[in-house]
Amino acid sequence: MRRKVTLFFVFLLSINLFSQENKKSIFLNSQAQVKDYFIAASEMIMVDLFVYDFNNLFLSSKPIQTSFSVFKQNLSSPWIFDNSSFKRNQLFHPYFGALYFLSGRSNNLNFTESFLLSTMGSFLWEAYLEGPVSSLNDFITTPAAGAITGEILHRLSFSVYDYSPFLSWVLSPVDGINQLLRNSRAITPRGKIYSFSTSILSGFSIYDATYDSLLTPGLGAALNVIYNNPYGHASKELYDQFTLDLYYSFWPENQLFKMNMDGLLYSIPIYPTEKALSNIAVSFDYNVLYGSNITLSNSSLGLCLMQSFGDKEKNQVNYCVQTDFVYLSTSDIFYLLKNNNTNYEKPFKQAPYTYKYGPEIKFSFEFFNSLFGNLSFKCASEYLFTYKNSTNDEELKTDLLIFTADASYEHKIFNNYYGGIRNLFILKNEYRNSIQINRNIINNTDLYIKILY
């Protein structure tokens, strides 16, 4: 039955595409200039059906049963915080949310319309296609983190198209498929890549005694993309400025993956001058940390003040002060992970993490000098509380204090090559009834070579 439904939507999609053959403005121009809500909705449904079939074929031991009675049950029953794996909830769900979102953006829907489409796709999946249990955290993460991920992929796909159409398709396969079907691309988003760099790392990791691992050598890589200058930025479109920061390092027994997707939902300049750029902005961020002894994800919305002084060719100072509300955080329960208890059973099956919320403060400072070099410092502090209905075990309803500091110094070697040193420090304190019950530390020091493109 599900395959028939999939084929039906493929048929409707093809009819709608080829019925537009007489609309010369779409096929003869290099860019399609109209919004197509029908194709966008059809592709969103096809993404849901594809994931449904993929789950049944490769991931589920038995087929997921869906019916209208299950749909009615899910609408009338309370939705829960699920216990799926961290990777599935915090990496896969945002990506499939991005595919929903891209179904809209690749058909010229704006950010808001595509976000609503992603929400509809998530609702259809949770209420009907996933079976008799609907997940509240996935319904939040999929469209919210999916919108951030999707907008970044959409804009980067257009930015790299002239250099590598293949990479453009890899970044946004939905944009690529629609371009192939229509023989034209969606409207190019406003803006361009402001800065893009890659780094190769070599250093060592210091862990505290609770993990019994000190001075472990390792290798790694990093990537940083800044889309539009964030300082003095005046928004033309929602989320038309963002920073993508990826960091991965590995050692014989440990690894650390860090992903920061920080963007401005809306930004207004404040009295810009030739030597000073200032703006106040609404931030919309999604960050993931996947380490050997700290696992964390944050979805947040906040307000920030950003200022830049001087000339980057000679001397420049940038800083940003930001306050956020973390509306959904996922944090591991370390003492369960350390004992390899992937299924915690007290009093029921519990994933080794809980869902939290709370305030967050961020600060960043950058100093550029043509002779001295570049100095950068970023820190963030957050205090998180456990959602009461995310676990039935009072023992797991803990508070968290997370502190992150990322400092680096680099100097130009020649042309666009830089050499530098970077230290990443992460502290997690866990409290129950105001008493500290656990502490974890990650401290990575790396020497790196960076290429600025």
Tens digit of each residue's pLDDT (9 = 90 or more) over 259-280: 999 999 999 999 878 788 999 9
pLDDT for the residue numbered 403 = 97
pLDDT score of 11 more than 70: no
pLDDT band at 58 (very low <50, low <70, confident <90, very high): low
pLDDT for the residue numbered 205 = 79
Half-sphere exposure of 251 (CA within 13 A, CB side): 21
pLDDT score of 55 more than 50: yes
The C-alpha atoms of residue 227 and residue 30 are separated, in whole angstroms, by 23
pLDDT band at 335 (very low <50, low <70, confident <90, very high): low
pLDDT for the residue numbered 207 = 63
Give percent above pLDDT 70 in the chain. Answer: 84
The average pLDDT across 149-162 equals: 96
pLDDT band at 16 (very low <50, low <70, confident <90, very high): very low
pLDDT score of 53 more than 90: no
The C-alpha atoms of residue 341 and residue 321 are separated, in whole angstroms, by 39
pLDDT for the residue numbered 215 = 65
Tens digit of each residue's pLDDT (9 = 90 or more) over 207-218: 654 545 566 778
pLDDT for the residue numbered 343 = 52
The average pLDDT across 109-125 equals: 95
The C-alpha atoms of residue 322 and residue 308 are separated, in whole angstroms, by 15
The more confident residue out of 287 and 36 is 287
Are the beta carbons of 347 and 392 closer than 8 angstroms?
yes
Integer CA distances (angstroms), 41 to 44, 53, 56, 97, 313, in order: 5, 19, 23, 13, 48
Tens digit of each residue's pLDDT (9 = 90 or more) over 342-398: 555 554 455 667 899 999 999 999 999 988 999 999 999 999 999 988 887 777 788
pLDDT score of 176 more than 50: yes
pLDDT for the residue numbered 62 = 63
pLDDT score of 323 more than 70: yes
The more confident residue out of 215 and 285 is 285
Are the beta carbons of 189 and 102 closer than 8 angstroms?
no
pLDDT band at 23 (very low <50, low <70, confident <90, very high): very low
Look-up of token digits 């599935």: 88
The C-alpha atoms of residue 264 and residue 272 are separated, in whole angstroms, by 18
Of the candidate ranges 120-134, 403-417, 435-449, the one whose mean pLDDT is the lowest: 120-134
The average pLDDT across 413-429 equals: 94
pLDDT for the residue numbered 4 = 46
Paired strand residues for 306: 279, 320
What is the DSSP secondary-structure string of 176-227?
Answer: HHHHHHHTSBPPPPS--EEEEEEEEEEEEEEE-GGGT--SEEEEEEEEEEEE
pLDDT band at 145 (very low <50, low <70, confident <90, very high): very high
pLDDT for the residue numbered 60 = 63
pLDDT for the residue numbered 439 = 86
pLDDT for the residue numbered 13 = 46
Report which DSSP code applies to 90: I
Tens digit of each residue's pLDDT (9 = 90 or more) over 60-81: 656 666 777 777 777 878 888 8
Q: Which helix or strand (DSSP H or E) is residue 287 part of?
A: strand 276-291
pLDDT for the residue numbered 222 = 96
